[in-house]
Structure 1
Amino acid sequence: MSRHSCPALLVTAPSSDSGKTTVVAALARYWRNRGKRVRVFKTGPDFIDPIFHEVASGAPAHQLDLGMMGEAACRRHLAQAATEADLILIEGVMGMFDGHYSSADLAARFGVPTLAVIPAAKMAQTFGAIACGLAHYREGVTLFGVVANQVGGPGHAELLKHSLPETIEFCGWLPRDDSLALPDRHLGLVQATEIPDLEAWLDGAAAKLGESCAMPLPAPVVFDPVAEDPALLALGEPLGGRTVAVAEDAAFAFIYRDNLSLLRRLGADLVHFSPLKDPLPACDALYLPGGYPELHREALVANRPLMAQIRAFADAGKPVVAECGGMLYLLEQLADKEGQCTEMTGVLPGRAQMQPRLQGIGMLSAEIGGHSLRGHCFHYSSSDIGLEPIAIATQAGRMRASEPVYRQGSVVASYVHWYFPSAPALVADWFGGRCR
């Protein structure tokens, strides 16, 4: 296997809410509009930001998370992208050095230079001090350049630029402009598919960033290829000849692209459908990922024929895998924060209610049938489910979050958004109707 090189930047910041997603999307669209092939990744288990990057770049966006995916899987993604792209962009998570597997850790592990987005409102030369601090806080991380956000105008931008040492590139600025702020809600940004005129917004953000600077790029990074996991190779295609129906629409959109890739790698044919409006396609197994069923209760209930089909499907012993919002959809009732209930499909005994505060967050793993399956939870609902868990997904470290994993017949459900490639044999059993 040959090595490939490609310019790459990990876009980071001093803290969350600094404008990383806007800058990454603007950069991806800027270079795409100039004929470059751009591949974008998102650090961490985020589902929403990658869709903006897919629209901006015109190519699939995947997660890069050392804790959930492991180093080998991250290396495979980067090496593959280097064979296809002229530029790799990686959006970081939280602040540059925050978390057990931080953005800085990822940059150091793969030798990718960083680009810091620094909010500069009400700031002048201190901008340079923050950039120097990010550059020198730890060894093994290279700060290639910075983008200034929330800038008052060209004069302010010049002050910021001249506060930097010569070793740090000034890679442009974005103004204080409410139109550049992406709207958000309780689980993060509003989904890309819900934003009108997104294409025009991306072109506008790209133009504003590009007008401010010559847009320098770093030298190419060499990415070594990584062979496919031998355990996955040994599995073959146990789902060959089986069709998996995947719910995907505004209510169910939290899907790791790697999960779908794994199902195809295991031999499954995938058919996508919308629980908001479609019947259940002809299929052998059903995948209900997370999303926002609480925002679409009326439309989901209006599709009563689908609810009946799903109940019949589960009663017939057909495999169903439900994650977070998908699990809420299978319950008997889902209530809003005020307690107003909506009848759901009734496949699983119990109810859930939306809460004003976060109820669960963290990277978790569960031991099921001799396999260790990893994933992430992030939810604002609480639930009362009348089943004994088959396992408890737990979090390492001090925070010790935990989530039950339920099984009723061939239905497996949990608040956890699973990363399927962490336990491909178990996933093959679930979708193949061989629950353990």
Structure 2
Amino acid sequence: MRDAAPWWRPDPGAVLRIEGGRVLTGRWRLGGAKNAVLPLMVAALLTPHLVTLRRVPAILDVAVLAGLLRRLGAGLSWSRDAAGLTLTIAADTLHPADVDAELVARMRASVLLLGALLARCGQARLPMPGGDAIGLRGVDFHLAGLRAMGATIEVAGGVIDARAPHGLHGAAIDLPMPSVGATENLLIAAVLARGTTIIRNAAREPEITDLARCLAAMGATIEGAGSPVLTVQGDRPLLGAQHAVLPDRIEMGTMACAAALTDGDLVLEGADAALLGAAAPLLAEAGVALDVAPGGLRACRAPGGLRGVDFRTAPFPGVATDLQSPLMALLAVAPGASAITETIFEQRFRHVDELRRMGADISLRGTTAWLRGVPHLSGAPVAGTDVRAAAALLLAGLGAQGVTELRGLDHLDRGHEAMVERLQACGAGVERR
């Protein structure tokens, strides 16, 4: 992996020591979105020409996927400037059989290789992908859509064996639910398929619009990006392109919560409230002020203070499931009662017990977490179990009284670039040991 991503240097220490009660102030430059950059990297496999991605976040998931692409035969070239990493991918020669099973097991986004390799090479053999343990997240929607496009797929022994020796063809696909991953996989496959593909009940997340924008720059013909119906005119020759990765809206919402939790004041550079969808008015209702500022948004606690709110996670433009856990950390100390219903992933409340260790008053009934805000949380030893849970526990520690020791930092590294150094620059008392 080091050869594929030479910039990746794992931080030492397995524990993050967080001294709570410090106010966060300053400027926070948003990086490129983790949820956008991974499908963009996979999409670069569709063409033998150079694809350059700017504002690439220097996170573990990017390093892992870079290792996968390198193993498949793609060339990768990196550079860095003030905006972050730039990655140029050269996929003129691919070896679809050379998939690294160990790396696939580390990340969910590797399932997107199915669509890309089938479309480009006519075959893909992929171990069942891994990633966060936040629910079943089966690949049935992906496989059904690819089969409708002419692929023959067998699943046995934990391996997906997919073949389309004569190429994929267009199809009308109705997704049972607006799955982000399935929409991305089918969109990637459709741009090289013969004829027209229509994806109904498609996910509308900004990251999918960003993928469609990059594919269009490569020469694809896509209509309906950002709507529930995507229409793709396939079999167009794809060229190279340059594309800047969308700013990370989950990082935006997470750091807005951090500013409010610590009664701080952060300017989130590159932030756009429209990317948050329903989470923007929800944050305002909870007492998080987001005001337009030069270069982005200013995030702080509203004059009226924090207050409890009720919400449900939902596909965009609803409140993102990835923001559920940071919002829970905020609402744990918001006066009044809150109810959070998780509708996307059935195991995304694994951070609840950890927040309880810190004194949060939370009870679970089915898919709903009921909170009663406490005056403050107290530092405690806790562990992150997925990317967003780790970030939520970090936020809780920043706002708590006393010292919190956070383990599970590999999850934090998967989705957050240089989190410790950037927090230190804003006044946080954090140290990796």
- TM-score where L is the length of structure 1: 0.29
- TM-score where L is the length of structure 2: 0.29
Q: From the CA coordinates, give the structure whose radius of gyration is larger.
A: 1
